[in-house]
Structure 1
C-alpha cells in the first residue's frame, strides 16, 4: 500500500483513521486534526468471489495497520436505512421499535450516533457479523452513519432568514436529499439512483409537499454531479436557484480529490 511520506504508521496515535463502508465498496482515510497536511484517502476494490464480510476480513487482515491504536477510529456506514430522531425524544431502549416502524424486516445490529451539534440522533442498522468483526479487530471504533457529517455541514450552510434549502448529494449509486427551513431539518431521504425519472420525481415531490418556492428557495447539489447532468438540467428548468455546494475542508486536499471524494468525507473535514 502506498502512503505519503508524511504519514508514519509506526506512530499511529498521531492520526485519525476513518473506514467507509458502502454496499459495494470499502475505503479508508487518514487525517490529523492538528496538521492539515495529513490526509490520505484510498479505495479498495471488493472481490466478487467473496462475500461482503469475507472481503472486509481479507482487507483488514492483509493490511495489518487497521488494528493499530489511532488517535480515533471511525467506521462510516453508507446506507439508505436510517431514521433521524430529535435528541430530546430519543430513547435508546426504543431504537429497534423505531427502526421496525419505519422499515420492514430490517436485520442486523441497531446503532445510533449524534449529529448536528448533538441535536439529532441518527439510527441505522449494520450487518451483525460486520459490526462484531470490526468491534473486535479495530481499536475502540466509533460507528457512524454517512448522513451524520452531512447534517452537521448542511445545517448552517448559507443560512438566510425564512429561506428553505434543499441539498442533493449523488453518491455510491444513491441520491440523498436533505431539506431545511433555516437551520431546522425538515426531511432526509436516501434512495437508489435507479433512473433519471425517479430522481427528478422525488426531488420535485419534496419541493411540492414542503411548499418550497421555485423562484426564491435554493437547490444545492454535490457529489457525482457530472454523472447526473441530464437530471440537473431538468431541475434547472423547474427551479430558478440551483447551485453547487462549496466545500472548504480544513485538511489540504487536491483539486482532483475534491472532484472524486464522497461529499460526506469532505464534509467531515469541514466541521
Structure 2
C-alpha cells in the first residue's frame, strides 16, 4: 500500500507485488488546505473502511508531497544541523520533527518535515513502514531516466496549488524547487523566472510535464504559449488507475510499484 499525502489531497494505492497490477486506487482533493489533523481523519477512514478487507500489506509506503523541504549535497549534510538547512526557505516551528532521505550514489539529501501524527498512526497500525519526501522519488526517478542525457531537460510536476521544477543536465541535478501558485499566471511566472535564471531557452529546451495537467487545462495552455518544446512524460510502466488516468498522472505512486 502506498499513500501520498499533501495539504491539498490524498491518494491511496494498493498493488500486487508479483504482477504489479492495481488492486485499489482512490484519491481525495480538498477545496482548501487541510491540516495534518484533518488529513489523519481521512486517512484513518479510508484504511479502516475501504481497505479493511485488503489487510495485511507486505509493504506500506507514505509519500509526503509538501513544499517543506530543501535539497542538500550529501557531502555537506550534517544530521545534527538538519533544521538549519530548512529555516532559510521554509517556515518551521521549533518543535517540528526534521527527517531526511539520501539518494544513494547521487550525493543528494532531501531534508523535510513529515507529519508526526500521521507517522505515529501508520506505526501504530502497521509497525514498520517506509516514508519519503516526494522530491526524493522525483529526483531519483528522473535521474535514472536521464542518466545518459547531455543537454538540459526540464521536468514540471504539477499538483493542486504547487508544482515541482526540476532540471537535469549531463545526468546530474541542476535544480529542484517547488512553488506555490493560485492562478495560471502565477504558474508561468515562476517557470519563466527559472528559465531565465538558468539561462534556458523556453523555445528550445526539452520540457517534460507530469502530474495533474492535461491538454486544454489553463495551466497547459499558458505553459504552451511561452514554452514550446513540451511533452507529457511517458512512464516506463504503462499503469492506469482509472479510465481517465494517463501515463503522466500519479507518477510518484507509479514510481514505487
Structure 1-normalised TM-score?
0.78
Question: How many residue pairs get matched?
Answer: 252
Which of 28, 35, 39 is residue 19 of structure 2 equivalent to?
35
Q: Which moved more, 1:71-80 or 1:221-230?
A: 221-230
Residues 182 and 92 of structure 1, relative CA distance in 2, 3 Å threshold: same
Q: CA deviation at 1:254?
A: 6.0
Are 2:188 and 1:196 aligned?
no
Q: 1:136 corresponds to which residue?
A: 124
Structure 1 vs Structure 2 CA RMSD: 3.2
Structure 2-normalised TM-score?
0.82
SS of 2:60's partner is: strand
Uncovered stretches (5+) of structure 1, i.e. residues with no partner: 1-16
Are 2:13 and 1:23 aligned?
no
Are 2:70 and 1:86 aligned?
no
Which of 64, 73, 77 is residue 60 of structure 2 equivalent to?
73
Residues 120 and 33 of structure 1, relative CA distance in 2, 3 Å threshold: farther
Are 2:83 and 1:96 aligned?
yes
Residues 133 and 195 of structure 1, relative CA distance in 2, 3 Å threshold: same
Uncovered stretches (5+) of structure 2, i.e. residues with no partner: none
Q: CA deviation at 1:166?
A: 0.9
Are 2:194 and 1:206 aligned?
yes
- 1:41-94 alpha-carbon deviations (Å, 9 max, x no partner): 223578x9x833333344444467499553221111111111112222222222
Which of 214, 234, 237 is residue 249 of structure 1 equivalent to?
237
**Contact residue 67 and residue 137 of structure 1 kept, 8 A:** no
**Contact residue 150 and residue 171 of structure 2 kept, 8 A:** no
Q: CA deviation at 1:178?
A: 0.8
Q: Bigger radius of gyration, 1 or 2? A: 1
**Contact residue 60 and residue 66 of structure 1 kept, 8 A:** no
Please give the residue correspondences for 1:143-222 in structure 2 after superposition, counting only pairs within 5 Å: 143-158=131-146, 161-222=149-210
Q: Which moved more, 1:131-140 or 1:55-64?
A: 55-64
- 1:228-249 alpha-carbon deviations (Å, 9 max, x no partner): 7344334334334211111121
Q: CA deviation at 1:265?
A: 1.5
